[in-house]
Chains A and B, each alone.
Chain A
Amino acid sequence: MDELKEVIKNYVTDEYLEPDSDPIDYETPLISGGIVDSFSMVSLKRFLENKYQIQIPDEKATPEAFDSVNKIAELVKEFVKG
């Protein structure tokens, strides 16, 4: 689980944070904190689907479910387990 969280955290840091931004942790609000907006969420979802060979249904891909590394990891785990 920690490895999964690190992958997500690193991807968000590399792709969505500007240089010199404050670092994020597993609980940092991503959507409500304005780091990842609803349009960009699509590319984050696509990354997770590609990386873990899963399909996250649109109804599960809510702003609330993507609002922190911890929440995203929970969501991914649900589908990786099958």
Chain B
Amino acid sequence: MSNFGNYEERTKNFSWSLSEQELGYQPGQPINIGWYCSDRVCQQGKADKIALIWEGFSAEKKIYTYNDLRRYSNTFARFLTDSGLKAGDRVCLFMDRIPELYIGFVGILKTGAIAQPLFSAFGEDSLFVRLENAQTAAIFTQKKHVAKVRKIKDKLPSLQHIFIVDYDGRSPLQERETAFSMEALGGVEDYDIYPTYAESPSVLHYTSGTTGMPKGVQHVHYSLISQYLTAKWVLDLRDDDIYWCTADPGWVTGTSYGIIAPFSLGVTQCVLDSGFSAEAWYRFIENNKITVWYSAPTAIRSLMKAGDEIIKKFNLSLLRHLASVGEPLNPEAVNWSIRVFGKPFHDTYWQTETGCILITNFPGMTVKPGSMGRAFPGITATILNPNTYEPYPHPGKIGLIGIKPGWPSMMRGYWKNEEAYKNKFHNGWYLTGDRARLDSDGYFWFVGRDDDIINTGGHLVSPFEVESALLEHQAVAESAVVSKPDPINMEVVKAFVTLKPGHSPSKDIELDIMNYIRKKLSPLAMPQEIEFVNTLPKTRSGKIMRRILHAKEWGEEAGDTSTLEND
């Protein structure tokens, strides 16, 4: 029997107060995610229980109990307070998946500051726009990433502190830099946790926009209420589970379900800080006796590509529940997991803005391979007519996924961008930007994005951001960026480029542009293919018509081309 049980029973008279009661939260009283993730678990008698099993790529291993998590997160909190950081300040975590990332996140929240995790593979430009927008006051990073911070810090007057967590003294610290070693400082027994309340800001995650620069999605401490319950019911986490969420905390899955949910449930979780290798992943599951595994379609398809034979080398029999997030999970992947693991991956659907799972295939219920599943109790999800923003009265029609606002972890705004936030709502519905259809059993089926955003390997990439960066390359005159199909990542970035006079298309120039974008933005944003063209399709007013190029890549009809400029 799963934690969730019966769908009809759970949805009948559902109230989020159920989660509040389980967490012992009284509305109006302080609520601090950092306390719930560490101190409270210790007070429940689980101080010696393992909170985190961490492995590096060279098989280095570290283990932290809940008491370690409590004391070391206090170390972070005390250090920040002593450094002059205060509630509401933005504190960035720009690190690989090392223990300090997970423990530091909890510590930042204890101070009332806002945790701003950023993907450590971001290039200097991607890092700069996010730190500048947030007016970030401090950043924790590693010596391998500090060079990127040094390149941009002079343009960031708000950034007063650069904390290097693994400083080894081999080269001198520069202005604003401080060495911080969690283990050398040792665990701090007592720290007065800042009394945050339900609506106090907690986490700032950045997500890509269609036409503008990245937007800071602002969450609050009350998000815990839905992150806790969805992890319990959808991921089916129990006290004796060993859990592995493969997501990087630079993205929302890695914080909502890679830090907040498992720690607040007092579950033991594992982290593997290494690149992808099928053998290493299966060995990690076997060695750590993992029971619940939350991963992504791109990883699952990469495992499929590695073949079935390799699986036979490992004992994976303790795996009891599998879930997936980031992009639609294709039916072949679900059927493959049933064949090789004896159980399906359960697709889960949600976004950076939603903070928690909204639609899912629940444990214990029939999984329809390829479907997104059904709405979580308390979530009113529907398919909207894109012209009227009214729900379609009957299933079967393709439209926009709309959600009635009001669940605990819904974003409270885009950082310093009220207009973009307002535009996410129409006719009383939150617009996800995704299109889907609903079947007669209440299951949602993903169709595609409603905008130009590219979902590559579960990460959103803004074509606008890539196009802007391309124009800074010395050889590029104009560019248009669209997605193209990819068997592993679902979509990858493709760029159409016209060159400036004096430059000719060549394989070398293509590689040079690819590497330029990779370093400037991130590997995710790097075009996997560049097509050199003489002209780009434009409207008569000069706007590049991305949809014509998109249609070409996907073998679709281009639609209305009446506004297309003639050559």
A residues contacting B by CB (< 8 A) are: 15, 18-21, 29-40, 42-43, 46-47, 49-50, 62-64, 67
Contact = CB atoms under 8 A, between A and B. Distances in A.
A50 B509 CA distance: 11
B158 interface: no
Contact of B144 (A21, A40, A47, A62): A21
Contacts of B523: 37, 39-40
A63 B526 contact: no
B511 A50 contact: yes
A34 B57 contact: yes
Given A34-B273, A40-B523, 6 more contacts: A20-B170, A20-B171, A29-B274, A32-B274, A34-B274, A39-B457
Contact of A20 (B143, B278, B280, B511): B143
Interface string B287-313: 000000000000000100110000000
Contacts of B143: 20
A32 B56 CA distance: 10
A39 B526 contact: yes
Which of A15, A40, A49 has the most C-beta atoms of chain B within 10 angstroms of its own C-beta? A40
Contact of A63 (B144, B273, B277, B528): B277
B276 A63 contact: yes
A50 B528 CA distance: 15
Given A62-B305, A67-B277, A18 B147 contact: yes
13 contacts: A20-B143, A21-B144, A32-B280, A33-B57, A33-B58, A34-B57, A35-B275, A36-B275, A38-B457, A39-B524, A42-B528, A63-B278, A64-B277
A43 B511 contact: yes
A63 B302 contact: yes
Contacts of A63: 275-278, 302
Interface residues of B, number: 37
B507 A50 contact: yes
A20 B276 contact: no
A32 B510 contact: no
Interface in B70-100: 96
B86 to A, nearest CB: 31
B305 A33 contact: no
B171 A34 contact: no
B145 interface: yes
B319 interface: no
Nearest to A37: B523
Contacts of A35: 275
Contacts of A21: 144
B144 A18 contact: yes
Interface string B418-455: 00000000000000000000000000000000000000
Nearest to B298: A38
Interface string B123-151: 00000000000000000000111111000
B515 A43 contact: yes
B508 interface: yes
